[in-house]
């Protein structure tokens, strides 16, 4: 079977390339070839993607030692994503001690205050405003700094460093590694401070995290913190901007949320389902440890699969009329945060950030609307605007 060149090509805004839906119907197990590495199988159906996310016969750890399908010449892995259970289970359990629902909910009041302060600044400056620089980027940036215990004064520098974590082609490999190295060095110094002077923040909690006598090494702590910062900061900022854009595109849904604020938690799930967070399949391929039967055929032992979670979230077998955006839909079960042992451990924090951000801006500016052309980012793992002018 001849492999298709992948990714398929750029799409506009938050559109889903129709070729995903075509493959979902006609070829749910499609052979693809990325610019670098092995050929692989692209999965687009909900049941197949969900199964591959949780099936122990698919290994992320194997991807760390293979010539993985990838966009660039250098593979970018991470501590939690390069491990399978039980090694992964050990680190995740230690991290869970620090990343509790209580800790996340304790940040909600502060998030509401920060959102209000940022909106005050927008209102004082007057329209138009760039939603990204005025609101969507600084809010999760401040929240991540608060969660980790990073001084607020460093947030602009952190924004630049965290962007490197999610870059695909926007930076050279040397630029990316230099920024990540600087970020790791800074966080290592912060962790050293917390070993002698603990505070009520995530880094302090990670320093003391232990389970049955086991605890994080200094290197593990820094790597986990870099992963949380890079993944949580950029993806949440993008999702806030994408969510506002979606609600402005469907003003009847925005009006429904203004009139019924209690719908917000479910609306955020629908936004997570409907918005294609990534332009391409999950950049973390999984390798079959043995032959595995999926909908479209058999993945042989030693072959990688790539998971198109954004296509799976539009599978009509799981979500009727999937292209319709409906804030009253029960969108639970979407795969944006993954599924199984590698389900995003920061999912609750991201949900809370987006709930707070959208509630605040919809109530503050009932006349919010786009005030010019939206410039969309390219060459990054996460989709979203580079600039989004709004007025009210």
180 contact partners, CB below 8 Å, separation of at least 6: 161, 164, 165, 226, 230
Report whether pLDDT(223) > 90: no
Domains and CATH numbers, the chain: 4-391 (1.10.630.10)
Name the pLDDT band for 132 (thresholds 50, 70, 90): very high
Lowest mean pLDDT among 266-270, 306-310, 379-383: 379-383
φ and ψ of 110, to 5 deg? -70, -35
Classify the C-alpha dihedral 238-240-244-250 as positive or negative: positive
Neighbouring-strand partners of residue 48? none
Report whether pLDDT(212) > 60: no
- Between β-strands 39-43 and 304-307, what pairing exists: parallel, antiparallel or unpaired? parallel
Report whether pLDDT(379) > 70: no
pTM: 0.90
**Burial class for 95, CB neighbours closer than 10 Å (0-12, 13-18, 19+):** buried
d(CA 65, CA 192): 32
Q: In terms of DSSP H, where are the helices of the chain?
A: 18-26, 46-54, 87-98, 101-106, 108-125, 131, 138-148, 155-166, 173-196, 202-208, 218-249, 251-259, 264-274, 309-312, 347-364
Report whether pLDDT(369) > 80: yes
C-beta atoms surrounding 146 within 10 Å: 17
DSSP 263: G
d(CA 16, CA 31): 19
pLDDT of residue 211: 59
Across residues 125-148, what is the average pLDDT? Answer: 90
Lowest mean pLDDT among 1-5, 192-196, 209-213: 209-213
Specify whether the CB–CB gap between 234 and 382 falls below 8 A. yes
The better pLDDT of the pair 145, 238 is held by: 238
- 183 vs 75, 179, 180, 186, CA distance in Å? 19, 6, 5, 5
Neighbouring-strand partners of residue 39? 33
Specify whether the CB–CB gap between 95 and 224 falls below 8 A. yes
DSSP 340: G
d(CA 198, CA 348): 24
């Amino acid at each position: 079977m001849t492999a298709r060149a992948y990714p398929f090509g750029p799409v506009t805004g938050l559109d889903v390339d129709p070729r995903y839906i075509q493959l979902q119907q006609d070829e749910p197990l499609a052979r693809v070839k990325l610019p670098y590495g092995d050929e692989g199988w692209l999965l687009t159906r909900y049941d197949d993607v969900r199964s591959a996310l949780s099936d122990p016969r698919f290994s992320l750890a194997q991807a760390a030692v293979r010539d993985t399908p990838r966009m660039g010449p250098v593979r970018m892995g991470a501590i939690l994503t390069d491990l399978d259970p039980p090694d992964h289970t050990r680190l995740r359990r230690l991290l869970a001690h620090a990343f509790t629902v209580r800790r996340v909910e304790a940040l909600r009041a502060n998030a509401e205050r920060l959102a209000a302060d940022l909106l005050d600044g927008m209102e004082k400056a007057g329209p138009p405003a760039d939603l990204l620089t005025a609101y969507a980027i600084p809010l999760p940036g401040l929240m991540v700094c608060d969660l980790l215990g990073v001084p607020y004064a460093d947030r602009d520098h952190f924004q630049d460093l965290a962007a490197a974590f999610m870059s695909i082609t926007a930076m050279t490999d040397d630029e990316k590694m230099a920024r990540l190295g600087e970020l790791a060095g800074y966080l290592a110094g912060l962790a050293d401070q917390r070993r002698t002077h603990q505070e009520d923040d995530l880094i302090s909690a990670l320093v003391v995290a232990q389970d049955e006598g086991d605890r994080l090494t200094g290197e593990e702590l820094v790597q986990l913190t870099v992963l949380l910062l890079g993944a949580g900061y950029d993806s949440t900022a993008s999702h806030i901007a994408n969510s506002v854009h979606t609600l402005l595109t469907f003003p009847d849904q925005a009006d429904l949320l203004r009139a019924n604020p209690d719908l917000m938690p479910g609306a955020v799930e629908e936004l997570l389902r409907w918005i294609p967070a990534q332009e391409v399949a999950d950049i973390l391929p999984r390798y079959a440890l043995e032959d595995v039967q999926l909908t479209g055929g058999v993945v042989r032992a030693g072959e990688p699969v790539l998971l198109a979670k954004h296509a799976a979230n539009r599978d009509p077998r799981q979500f009727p009329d999937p292209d319709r955006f409906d804030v009253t839909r029960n969108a639970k079960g979407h795969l944006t945060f993954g599924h199984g042992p590698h389900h995003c451990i920061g999912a609750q924090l991201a949900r809370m950030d987006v709930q707070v951000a959208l509630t605040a801006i919809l109530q503050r500016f009932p006349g919010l609307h786009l005030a010019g052309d939206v410039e969309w980012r390219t060459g990054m793992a996460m989709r979203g605007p580079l600039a989004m002018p709004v007025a009210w």
